[in-house]
Amino acid sequence: MTSAAASTAASTAAATPAPSPTARPPALLSVGDLHVSYGAITALRGVSLSVGQGEIVALIGANGAGKTSTLRAVSGMLSPKQGSITLDGKPIAGRKSHELVPLGMAHAPEGRGIFLNLSVDENLTLGAYLRSDHEGIEADRENGFTLFPRLRERRQQRAGTLSGGEQQMLAVARALMSRPRLLLLDEPSLGLAPQVIETIFKILRAVNQTGVSILLVEQNAHLALGVAHHAYVLETGQIVMEGTGKDLLATDEIRRAYLGE
């Protein structure tokens, strides 16, 4: 009953034109008035955002702003208290991850979350867990190795023995194994050397060019705004600003608050 009400709210939200002057592609994901709380702690208080078909959308914000909570609600790892989430216009709020993965949702969780005691190959196989087209899976595995040749060299190696950068590469490659249309990435640059970050972001661009939409959560605002078509700024559970990556990079508040200038 609430979800029916929520979905109408979503469609009206999607119908209102975006404040940004640049035209955005039709929404693949759209989130409206999302509330999330952990017991007594409220993490999100009315977050609305959207990811257009083929877009890279960045979500930036300070520690504890609610970025991870947003991704977790979108990918079905937690149920929102209130609000709507639609994928392709279909309401998905409250549906579990295992129902959303087949719809094209892939989530590379915060802290990489790779299976440390399994091999690189086994990690990739688990990425395609819900698929049964053997040949397609092998083809995608090859694609992953083409994107990240270092993983190919280490395919039999235990994932726990990979370097931090390689683990992050594996996390991305594994997320791609489900053939997602929407890729949710939670701080892929965390703890990595600038060179490795550059590598990963180059690949994210390449992946995006193949038609995968990306919702990117980042602490590193400069980096995120650099690649994003559109970006949102989250502060204590609310979106306080949005615009194209370039526009936000140019605003004083962003420069002061997130770029330390």
Partner 1 sequence: MGGVIRGLLPFAVAVPVLAALQVLTADAPFLVILSLTVGVNIVLAVSLNIVNGMTGQFSIGHAGFMAVGAYVGGVLSKVTSEYGISFLPEVVSDQVLFALSLVVGGAVAALFGFVVGLPSLRLKGDYLAIVTLGFGEIIRVVVQNTELFGKALGLSGVPARTTLFSCWLVVVVVVVVAKRIHDSSHGRALLAIREDEIAAEAMGVNTTAYKVRSFVVASFFAGVAGGVFAHYQSIVAPSSFTYVKSMEVVVMIVAGGLGSTTGAIVAAVFLTLLPEGLRSVLLAVTGDGALAQKVEQIRMPLYGLLLVVLMLLRPQGLFGTRELWDMGPFRKKRAPSPPSPLSSSASPGAAPEVVR
Ligand X SMILES: Nc1ncnc2c1ncn2[C@@H]1O[C@H](COP(=O)(O)OP(=O)(O)OP(=O)(O)O)[C@@H](O)[C@H]1O
And the tokens for 51? 């990811």
Binding span for partner 1 by CB under 8 A among 13-21, 48-56, 79-87, 104-112: 104-112
Kindly tell me which residue out of 5, 90, 142, 250 binds partner 1, with binding defined by CB under 8 A: 142
Kindly tell me which residue out of 7, 30, 50, 68 binds Mg ion, with binding defined by CB under 5 A: 68
Rounded Cα distance between 246 and 194, Å, is 21
Kindly give the pairing relationship between strand 213-218 and strand 82-87: unpaired
Binding span for partner 1 by CB under 8 A among 31-39, 53-61, 109-117, 229-237: 109-117
Count the neighbouring beta carbons within 10 Å of the beta carbon of residue 203: 17
144-163 mask for partner 1 (x: CB under 8 A)? -xxxxx--xxxxx-------
Q: Which residues contact 194 (CB under 8 A, 6 or more apart)?
A: none
Strand order in the sheet with 41-52: 41-52, 27-38, 82-87, 90-91
31-70 mask for ligand X (x: CB under 6 A)? -------x--x-x-----------------x-xxxxxxx-
Place of tokens 């990979």: 162
Q: What backbone phi and psi angles, to 5 degrees, belong to 51? A: -120, 120
Kindly tell me which residue out of 2, 8, 130, 259 binds partner 1, with binding defined by CB under 8 A: 130
194-213 mask for ligand X (x: CB under 6 A)? --------------------
Instruction: State the residues that interact with ligand X by CB under 6 A.
Output: 38, 41, 43, 61, 63-69, 110, 219
